[in-house]
């Protein structure tokens, strides 16, 4: 099996990447968790499943490549990753806008929400940036366009994977917006990873963004009033314009980060 996977990865890499996403992202997590784990606000089972799957991916790649491939869990360039990822931190702040922090925090809710989204960030970064971007850079190491191809292909795949939210009842318009949003975020995440070769920084930032988006889970939840609901409705257009601005900033910054060709070549050689 190891020889077969190595041959597939070397000779038919796109098939290998699609197989990895199918097994570990679509069937391994989304299908299994929906069918067997049910739908809950938080599930230790779902979090454990993500953790198990990412460990399996790491072990499989280690077995296939015998040290030739690395996910770069290291402290070197971690701070640089946080600094380069500043547009991503803007997204985190954007997710916090409108949150009422005067409410009491529930300790259980805080622990569960933080652990859930920390694992989500780690899980997705291992699969998308660690596995996809890392193996694309390895596979196209002799291609002068390896950086551009790795960033674009991995980001498009990251965005398209969010189409799966249609099957959970999410609206078409919301899902398409999420696909576009995730693709641009994917470009920034990939650029940060390629500039630093550090998976911890992008995993932590990803976890913080997701935690900020689900931060309501840490508070005692008061019943919403019609006045509050109406106020939130009026903010929709403004929120969209702010999000669009942040995405454009992120896209431009992602492109600028990739202009350091000599630095990237030296780092990945």
* Average pLDDT value for residue range 71-77: 94
In sequence order, what are the residues at sequence separation of 6 or more whose Cβ sits closer than 8 angstroms to the Cβ of residue 43? Answer: 33, 37
* Average pLDDT value for residue range 1-17: 91
Structure tokens at 65: 């490549």
Structure tokens at 58: 């790491």
Q: Which of 30-39, 120-129, 167-176, 219-228 has the highest mean pLDDT?
A: 120-129
In sequence order, what are the residues at sequence separation of 6 or more whose Cβ sits closer than 8 angstroms to the Cβ of residue 93? Answer: 212
Note the pLDDT of residue 226. 36
Comparing 116 with 36, the larger pLDDT belongs to 116
CA–CA separation, 252 and 129 (whole Å) = 19
Q: What are φ and ψ of residue 105, in 5° steps? A: -95, 135
pTM of the model: 0.89
Residue 235: band (very low, low, confident or very high) from pLDDT cuts 50, 70, 90: very low
Residue 233: band (very low, low, confident or very high) from pLDDT cuts 50, 70, 90: very low
Rounded (10°) angle between helices 44-65 and 107-125: 30
| pLDDT tens, position by position, 167-215 | 777 788 888 888 998 999 999 999 999 999 999 999 999 999 999 988 9
Query: What percent of the chain has pLDDT above 90?
Result: 58
DSSP 8-state symbol, 99: -
Q: Which of 55-59, 104-108, 131-135 has the lowest mean pLDDT?
A: 104-108
Note the pLDDT of residue 229. 38
Alpha-helix residue ranges (DSSP H) falling in 97-171: 107-125, 134-139, 146-160
Reference 216, options 227, 204, 224, 206; nearest CA is 224
In the three-class reduction of DSSP (H, G, I as helix; E, B as strand; rest coil), residue 145 is classed as coil
8 A C-beta contact, residue 262 and residue 100:
no
- pLDDT beyond 90 at 123: yes
- pLDDT beyond 50 at 242: yes
CA–CA separation, 57 and 129 (whole Å) = 12
Note the pLDDT of residue 225. 38
* Average pLDDT value for residue range 217-227: 60
CA–CA separation, 224 and 247 (whole Å) = 30
| pLDDT tens, position by position, 32-72 | 555 555 554 445 677 888 888 899 999 999 999 988 889 99
Q: Would you give the end-to-end CA distance of the chain in angstroms?
A: 29
Structure tokens at 34: 């929906």
Q: Which of 36-50, 114-128, 139-153, 203-217 has the lowest mean pLDDT?
A: 36-50
CA–CA separation, 95 and 93 (whole Å) = 5
Note the pLDDT of residue 66. 86
Structure tokens at 48: 């454990």
8 A C-beta contact, residue 136 and residue 154:
yes
Note the pLDDT of residue 34. 55
CA–CA separation, 70 and 178 (whole Å) = 30
CA–CA separation, 170 and 233 (whole Å) = 18
* Average pLDDT value for residue range 99-126: 90
8 A C-beta contact, residue 254 and residue 92:
no
Note the pLDDT of residue 30. 62
Q: Which of 12-16, 78-82, 102-106 has the lowest mean pLDDT?
A: 102-106
Residue 238: band (very low, low, confident or very high) from pLDDT cuts 50, 70, 90: confident
In sequence order, what are the residues at sequence separation of 6 or more whose Cβ sits closer than 8 angstroms to the Cβ of residue 39? Answer: 168
């Amino acid at each position: 099996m190891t020889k077969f996977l190595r041959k597939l990865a070397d000779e038919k890499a796109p098939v290998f990447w699609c197989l990895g996403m199918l097994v570990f992202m679509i069937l391994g997590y989304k299908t299994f968790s929906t069918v067997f784990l049910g739908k809950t606000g938080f599930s230790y089972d779902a979090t454990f499943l993500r953790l198990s799957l990412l460990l399996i991916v790491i072990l499989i790649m280690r077995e296939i490549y015998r040290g030739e491939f690395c996910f770069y869990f290291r402290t070197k360039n971690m701070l640089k990753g946080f600094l380069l990822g500043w547009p991503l931190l803007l997204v985190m702040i954007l997710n916090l806008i409108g949150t009422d922090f005067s409410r009491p925090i529930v300790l259980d809710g805080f622990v569960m929400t933080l652990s859930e989204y920390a694992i989500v960030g780690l899980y997705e970064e291992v699969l998308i940036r660690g596995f996809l971007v890392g193996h694309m850079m390895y596979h196209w190491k002799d291609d002068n366009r390896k950086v551009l191809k790795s960033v674009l292909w991995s980001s498009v795949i990251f965005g398209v994977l969010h189409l799966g939210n249609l099957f959970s009842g999410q609206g078409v318009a919301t899902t398409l917006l999420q696909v576009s949003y995730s693709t641009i975020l994917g470009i920034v995440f990939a650029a940060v990873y390629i500039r630093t070769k550090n998976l911890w920084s992008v995993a932590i930032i990803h976890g913080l963004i997701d935690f900020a988006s689900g931060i309501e889970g840490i508070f005692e939840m008061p019943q919403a009033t019609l006045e509050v609901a109406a106020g939130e409705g009026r903010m929709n257009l403004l929120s969209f314009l702010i999000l669009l601005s942040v995405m454009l900033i992120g896209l431009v910054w992602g492109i600028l980060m990739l202009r350091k060709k000599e630095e990237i070549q030296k780092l990945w050689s």
